């Protein structure tokens, strides 16, 4: 490999590995304020505590306490309206995710290690999916 080829390889490596390393060391920008929690996911939230939202949203702030939410999950073959009942702790992040199990949607509390890496805890399955 020529001197020019080595320099190019090093530059490519810096551009690929550098942002990943910085991301892993970064702080968590998605952490909510300590008085509320964040509910986010890939399925639209239709209602919170029985109140229909003006339009479905993918993220919502929730106050501490018990909540009931309804979400919509569309597949090629069916459309599911799933209802969850769960208790929210202020300052936490919760995630709605799709999964290939009998219950098509699940809710998790997310513990962020940084903006790139997080782990799921406290799985909540829907009360009903129709």
- pLDDT computed for residue 38 by the predictor: 94
Flag whether 21 is in a domain.
no
From the list 41, 30, 99, 91, the residue with the least C-alpha distance to 71 is 41
Flag whether 116 is in a domain.
yes
Flag whether 108 is in a domain.
yes
- pLDDT computed for residue 118 by the predictor: 86
Q: CA 51, 78, 94 angle in degrees (round to 5)?
A: 45
Q: Are 125 and 80 in contact (CB under 8 A)?
A: no
The three-class DSSP label of residue 109 is strand
- pLDDT computed for residue 10 by the predictor: 65
- pLDDT computed for residue 37 by the predictor: 94
Range of the domain at 45: 36-129
- pLDDT computed for residue 41 by the predictor: 93
Flag whether 76 is in a domain.
yes
CB-based contacts of 115, cutoff 8 Å, min separation 6: 23, 26, 27, 28, 29, 30
- pLDDT computed for residue 6 by the predictor: 61
Flag whether 95 is in a domain.
yes
- Total structural domains within the chain: 1
Global confidence as pTM: 0.73
The three-class DSSP label of residue 5 is helix
From the list 3, 98, 94, 117, the residue with the least C-alpha distance to 43 is 98
Flag whether 114 is in a domain.
yes
- pLDDT computed for residue 94 by the predictor: 95
Per-residue burial over 55-80, b = 16 or more CB atoms within 10 Å of its CB, e = otherwise: eeeeebebeeeebebbbebeeeeeeb
Q: Are 112 and 94 in contact (CB under 8 A)?
A: no
pLDDT truncated to tens, each residue of the chain (130 aa)?
Answer: 676 766 666 665 555 655 555 454 444 445 556 889 999 999 999 999 999 999 999 999 999 999 999 999 998 888 999 999 999 999 999 999 998 878 899 999 999 888 788 899 999 999 999 8
- pLDDT computed for residue 84 by the predictor: 97
Flag whether 16 is in a domain.
no
Flag whether 58 is in a domain.
yes
Q: State how far the Cα of 97 lies from the Cα of 86, in Å rounded to an integer.
A: 15
């Amino acid at each position: 490999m020529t001197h020019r080829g080595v320099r190019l390889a090093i530059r490519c490596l810096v551009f690929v590995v550098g942002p990943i390393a910085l991301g892993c060391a970064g702080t968590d920008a998605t952490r909510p304020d300590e008085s509320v929690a964040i509910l986010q996911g890939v399925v639209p939230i239709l209602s919170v505590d029985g109140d229909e939202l003006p339009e479905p949203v993918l993220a919502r702030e929730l106050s501490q306490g018990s909540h009931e939410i309804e979400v919509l999950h569309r597949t090629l073959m069916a459309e599911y309206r799933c209802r969850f009942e769960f208790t929210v702790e202020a300052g936490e992040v919760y995630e709605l995710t799709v999964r290939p199990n009998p219950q098509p949607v699940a809710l998790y509390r997310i513990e962020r290690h940084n903006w790139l890496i997080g782990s799921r805890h406290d799985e909540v399955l829907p009360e009903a999916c129709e």
